[in-house]
Structure 1
Amino acid sequence: MSTAAHEVATHRTMDEPAHPAVGAATALLDDYRPDTRFLATPTRTLLAGGVRHEISPGDGPVARRVAAALARHPGSTVIGAIPFDPSAAPALVIPETLRSAPALTADPLIALPAASPPPGRWEIRPEPEPEVYARGVRSAVDRMWQGEFSKVVLARTLALTGRDPLDIPAMLQRLARRDPAGYTFALPTRPGRTLLGASPELLVSRRGNLLVSNPLAGSTPRSPDLAEDVRRAAALLQSAKDLHEHAVVVDAVHQGMALHCSTIEVPARPTLIRTAAMWHLSTTVTGVLKSPEVSALELACSLHPTPAVCGTPTALARSVIRETEPFDRGFFTGVVGWGNADGDGEWVVTIRCAEAEGRTLRLYAGAGVVSASEPGAETAETAAKFRTFLNAVGAEL
């Protein structure tokens, strides 16, 4: 392996990624171990080792605590995750070492396929059962027709238990190589537990005074048949239900970013983005920051949770989620990413994710429920979203 591919950058400035080289990004992917922290974005690939400082629970906003820690450690970077409930403990650290490379898509070796998952038997336990989830969707739709709220995102989980300890590095390889243009991550959230996933959704990024957000809402499963896949994509662009769901999210992001921007641009209509499993309606919102003191993490916390993962109005949607979902979301639909002392960073919505612990992998998937939602369709959408991880471990519903 070349020297460039193994370059170690201790507290490297995030605007200076390693020199592009064949194998540079995939070397970091290959070197990931469950006690390290891996994050790949469309701009860079990061592998963090050790813990120089941990952002512990405390009083005041987490962005303020992070800014104070970064100020005490000049030239450092924070990396990690924030839960769906912002009052819960984060999993954010300033690492001892940080290796940086260009994006995975810039490395030709990312095109090499990952090893197929070994044959194995999984015990799969849904929580809640699909029919119970569908009843929760129906109840939410009925309440919307009564005018209580306009949208809620309801999730369900699958607990997969295998006979052997989980091979997390192998799972990460399959996730990264299947969707290298997305946001792939794996990091410890507590001793013995790892959060990993491949999210398509950028909550907010900041580089200098330029802000970008890419809200996604409204989706449909991909098809292995090309003609059917194109038909589904075209239908999604014309779906009144999905366009309404998307508009609610874009409006919330627009309003949240506008508070901090001197100028802001929002396209009139969404476009499409695709992952290996799903088509999504997508809008890229860009803005120019008014004040350099506002960090990417502060912006992310001000936008979180968007209607794409919670609903609207936010407080009431949270209440409906607590009443309906029989589990704690934890880091699912939270925020994962990196930030530096200059205020730059990339923070991603934590979806298409799972938590690994021992022999068990807990998968999460949600669907946006609006008044036009059909319980069967929303249940099917969550099943399609589970495919990201089911394919990574060789399991089927």
Structure 2
Amino acid sequence: MSSGLSFVLSNTECNARGFGVRAAYGSVSDAAAALRSGSAEFVGGAIGFDSAATASLIAPERLVFSPVPEETRSDDVESVVESLSVTPDAVHRARVEAAVDAISAGRVEKVVVARSLEARLSEPVSPEEMVQRFAATAGDSTVFAADLRAAPGYDGRWLIGASPELLLRKRGATVHCVPYAGSAAKFDAAGVPVPDAAEGLARSDKDLREHAYVVDYLRELLSPLCIEIDVPARPTTIATEHVWHLATPIVGRLVDPTITALDLAALLSPTPAVCGTPTAAAAELIGEIEGPRDFYAGAVGWCDAAGDGEWVVSIRCLELDTAASTVTAWAGGGIVAGSDPDAEVAETTAKFQTVLSALGPVPSPLAG
């Protein structure tokens, strides 16, 4: 077994790293059973978009919870991109139009449609170096990495990124969620700050409706599990490096504190922030429009034997191939009645910037 890095989740609240692989689990149920039986004291890794189908969860040989690293922000990351391709704007517009048509037909109320980007690297980049690149460019987002070896066909592949969105944090009987949905670019195509972008987002009927679906979903699932739950009446605006988001901090106190963070992650993921509503119908539509998502828009995190843990939504991420020479990334946006295809193309372009910043200056207009 390798003694190298196998898992990372690092933010201002938590800096967890796993090394080596003592055991690997290809499903949430297998990992949950290992925690319950005591054969694993900690698991960390990735849950796929379909949490019942795909997972790569690892019990590391060595686990390190260290102090949160000091600020490593850098605007000068050397490029490792040799060539880049992305789903064309016209193709993504057509996907958005198909989603709007499905909404008009009553098939779904909201669906999240994504497009992909593929970059061939000029030289191999190790998972450790890719983590450092995200840490240097992603601001306050949660930097994560997950060895995907436990999933069939994924041995040697990694999911690495910097997610702004906390799916859940569980400590004892307290569960904390911060769903994001509804967004606006901070900068235009020329890199100039968009005036009043945050204020416009806070007043946007389209974005407020999109956000409400996510909050209502989480309230509906968590309320039966909680003695009490606090859900603010209106979202706030939160900035990442490239995008403004609507966010609502939700805090609940669990009736049964033995419910684990892994159980909750599998229950809550995927939320309407990355899937849509109704969930099953939206996921089916996504499969028709995009094809399979696998690990994008799932969750990455950890859970210990006490049931505590932390999970983020696996967005603003890339998949590193077995040769560490090609990466695939994704960016999506929530589509509701009245969504504008051109605006949705612009939104995905802004969201790609997290990955592009980590890769360094790239030969593409997407670099801004």
Note whether the superposition's TM-score is higher than 0.5.
yes
Choose the corresponding residue for 2:273, options 287, 308, 321.
308
Percentage identity across paired residues of the two chains? 41
Number of the residue aligned with 1:162: 121
Number of the residue aligned with 2:152: none
- Between the aligned partners of 1:277 and 1:355, the Cα distance in structure 2 is 21
User: Is 1:36 aligned with 2:6?
Assistant: yes
Unaligned runs of 5+ in 1: 1-32
- Between the aligned partners of 2:357 and 2:185, the Cα distance in structure 1 is 14
In the TM superposition, 1:248-397 aligns within 5 A as 248-325=213-290, 327-357=291-321, 358=323, 359-394=325-360, 395=362, 396=364, 397=366
One-letter amino acid matched to 1:36: S
Unaligned runs of 5+ in 2: 150-154
Number of the residue aligned with 1:96: 61
**Please, what is the CA RMSD of the aligned residues?**
2.2
Alignment partner of 1:117: what SS? coil
Deviations 1:4-56 (A, max 9, x none): xxxxxxxxxxxxxxxxxxxxxxxxxxxxx974322113321112111122123
One-letter amino acid matched to 1:88: A
- Between the aligned partners of 2:318 and 2:218, the Cα distance in structure 1 is 26
Number of the residue aligned with 2:133: 174
- Between the aligned partners of 2:105 and 2:320, the Cα distance in structure 1 is 40
One-letter amino acid matched to 1:388: T
One-letter amino acid matched to 2:137: R
Q: TM-score, normalised by structure 1?
A: 0.84
Deviation at 1:391, TM superposition (A): 1.3
- Between the aligned partners of 2:55 and 2:109, the Cα distance in structure 1 is 30
Q: 1:119 to 1:270 in 2, by over 3 A?
A: closer
- Between the aligned partners of 1:319 and 1:176, the Cα distance in structure 2 is 34
Number of the residue aligned with 1:201: 165
Deviations 1:128-156 (A, max 9, x none): 42211111111211221232221000111
Q: 1:230 to 1:265 in 2, by over 3 A?
A: farther
Task: Kindly tell me the number of residue pairs found equivalent between the two proteins.
Answer: 353
Number of the residue aligned with 2:89: 130
Number of the residue aligned with 2:105: 146
Q: TM-score, normalised by structure 2?
A: 0.90
Alignment partner of 2:148: what SS? strand
- Between the aligned partners of 1:210 and 1:268, the Cα distance in structure 2 is 20
Deviations 1:80-137 (A, max 9, x none): 0111022333110111100111333xx3xx2x444833345532222x4221111111
Alignment partner of 1:91: what SS? strand
- Between the aligned partners of 2:6 and 2:264, the Cα distance in structure 1 is 26
Q: Which has the larger radius of gyration?
A: 1
Alignment partner of 1:387: what SS? helix
In the TM superposition, 1:76-87 aligns within 5 A as 76-87=41-52
Deviation at 1:315, TM superposition (A): 1.2
- Between the aligned partners of 2:181 and 2:62, the Cα distance in structure 1 is 36
- Between the aligned partners of 2:107 and 2:205, the Cα distance in structure 1 is 21
Choose the corresponding residue for 2:76, options 113, 116, 124.
116
Contact conserved, 1:266 with 1:284, CA < 8 A, in 2?
yes
Deviation at 1:294, TM superposition (A): 1.1
Alignment partner of 1:54: what SS? strand
Contact conserved, 2:20 with 2:62, CA < 8 A, in 1?
yes
Contact conserved, 1:204 with 1:348, CA < 8 A, in 2?
yes
User: Greater RCO between the two (CA within 8 Å, min separation 6)?
Assistant: 2
Contact conserved, 1:166 with 1:360, CA < 8 A, in 2?
no
Deviations 1:241-283 (A, max 9, x none): 0011001111001111112001011001100111111110000
- Between the aligned partners of 1:85 and 1:71, the Cα distance in structure 2 is 23
Alignment partner of 2:272: what SS? coil
